[in-house]
């Protein structure tokens, strides 16, 4: 029986995979197993994984015949795990050496904690730090039910789950190809408080081929996550945050539609607004201020990143 199981879903990431695996193997906390779920990569990923598995008995490999999606890969890794805690890691990211130790120390302070997480450093394709994603402490720790939906200062960065809490809340939704993280975090924070280490413990890599670049699919499935959450909310726990939750989707959808076809967007936008007003006038009115607020926050974020890039500085982003 090991204390922590690290789960890595792998698909077509040979360029970054070795660095990812090595960052796990040099952790200061050594009572762990490393489960890598390989999803039928077309590149050399499986060979790289097998090479490390031959050298280190802590590594276990699960091979899918084809790419079944990140949620399926994570779930299969979790279900096969032997650890009391589950640490999630993507195959293009890097853990700092003390990540497991610091998250374990924090989550062990209270047996009711469902997960522990930290801030995140953002690196580019070459591993150069370009920014940092942080959370506001009062939105990122303790009982934060609803804060994941609002996304206003709440940040859950690559968590370590208490496995029995994760099983109780339900695993990753395999029908979602975007927003699956938010969906799980929403469910688990409804049941359990959260521990938070207020400093970066992981390098999150942004590059042209990772899932974050598939924006259309992510936005569509983010809405599915929202629809599912509010449809299942029979007790009305989240009714007060619904306008804020959907505001992020509206801004993302408008942004994508605008850049896809500016003429079509300008032609269709008034009709969509009128239809929204007719179908649900009360929710339309309640959504105006949240949409404007999110829009201003997005503009501020863009300006900060542009200024940081112009002067070769590292940007700081609050929340995802």
Q: How far is the C-alpha of 195 from the C-alpha of 169, rounded, in Å?
A: 17
Q: How far is the C-alpha of 201 from the C-alpha of 196, rounded, in Å?
A: 11
What percent of the chain shows pLDDT beyond 90? 76
Q: Is residue 125 part of a domain?
A: no
Q: Which residue has the higher pLDDT, 158 or 129?
A: 129
pLDDT tens-digit readout, 268-296: 989 999 999 999 999 999 999 999 998 99
Give me the domain span that covers residue 291: 212-311
List the structure tokens of 135: 């959370």
Domain-terminating residue out of 94, 111, 127 = 94
Q: Is residue 186 part of a domain?
A: no
Q: Which residue has the higher pLDDT, 104 or 300?
A: 104
Q: Is residue 204 part of a domain?
A: no
CA 81 to chain centroid:
21
Please, are residues 182 and 148 in contact by the beta-carbon 8 Å criterion?
yes
Q: Which of 39-48, 93-102, 264-273 has the lowest mean pLDDT?
A: 264-273
Q: How far is the C-alpha of 316 from the C-alpha of 287, rounded, in Å?
A: 27
Domain-terminating residue out of 94, 112, 132 = 94
Number of domains in the chain: 2
Q: Is residue 198 part of a domain?
A: no
Q: How far is the C-alpha of 256 from the C-alpha of 248, rounded, in Å?
A: 12
Q: Identify the CATH number of the domain in which residue 67 sits.
A: 3.90.550.10
Q: Is residue 200 part of a domain?
A: no
CA distances from 278 to 17, 220, 269, 272, 285 (A): 51, 23, 14, 10, 11
Domain-terminating residue out of 94, 109, 142 = 94
Q: Please give the mean pLDDT across all residues of the chain.
A: 92
Q: Spell out the residues 6+ positions from residue 241 whose beta carbon is closer than 8 angstroms to its own.
A: 146, 149, 150
Q: Is residue 272 part of a domain?
A: yes
pLDDT tens-digit readout, 120-143: 999 999 999 999 998 888 889 999
pLDDT tens-digit readout, 7-37: 999 999 999 999 999 999 999 999 999 999 9
For 13, the enclosing helix (H) or strand (E) is none
Q: Is residue 260 part of a domain?
A: yes
Q: Is residue 58 part of a domain?
A: yes
């Amino acid at each position: 029986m090991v204390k922590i199981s690290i789960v890595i879903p792998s698909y077509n990431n040979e360029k970054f995979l070795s660095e990812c695996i090595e960052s796990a193997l040099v952790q200061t906390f050594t009572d762990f197993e490393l489960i890598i779920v390989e999803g039928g990569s077309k590149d050399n990923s499986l060979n790289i994984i097998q090479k490390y598995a031959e050298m280190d008995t802590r590594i276990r490999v699960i091979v899918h015949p084809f790419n079944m999606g990140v949620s399926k890969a994570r779930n299969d890794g979790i279900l096969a795990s032997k650890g009391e805690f589950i640490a999630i890691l993507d195959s293009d990211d890097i853990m700092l050496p003390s990540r497991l130790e610091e998250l374990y120390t924090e989550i062990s302070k209270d047996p009711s904690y469902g997960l522990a997480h930290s801030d995140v450093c953002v690196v580019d394709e070459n591993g150069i730090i370009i920014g940092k994603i942080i959370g506001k402490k009062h939105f990122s720790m303790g009982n934060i039910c609803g804060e994941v939906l609002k996304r206003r200062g709440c940040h859950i960065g690559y968590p370590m789950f208490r496995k029995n809490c994760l099983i109780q809340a339900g695993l990753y939704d395999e029908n979602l190809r975007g927003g699956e993280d938010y969906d799980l975090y929403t469910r688990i924070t409804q049941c359990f408080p959260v521990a938070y280490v207020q400093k970066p413990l992981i390098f999150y890599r942004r590059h042209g081929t990772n899932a974050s670049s598939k924006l259309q699919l992510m936005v569509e499935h983010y809405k599915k996550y929202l629809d599912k959450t509010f449809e299942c909310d029979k007790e009305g726990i989240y009714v007060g945050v619904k306008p804020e939750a959907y505001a992020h989707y509206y801004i993302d959808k408008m942004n994508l539609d605008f850049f896809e076809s500016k003429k079509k967007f300008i032609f269709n936008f008034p009709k969509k607004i009128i239809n929204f007003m007719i179908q649900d006038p009360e929710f339309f009115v309640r959504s105006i201020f949240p949409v404007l607020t999110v829009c201003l926050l997005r503009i501020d974020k863009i300006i900060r990143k542009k200024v940081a890039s112009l002067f070769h500085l590292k940007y700081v982003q609050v929340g995802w």
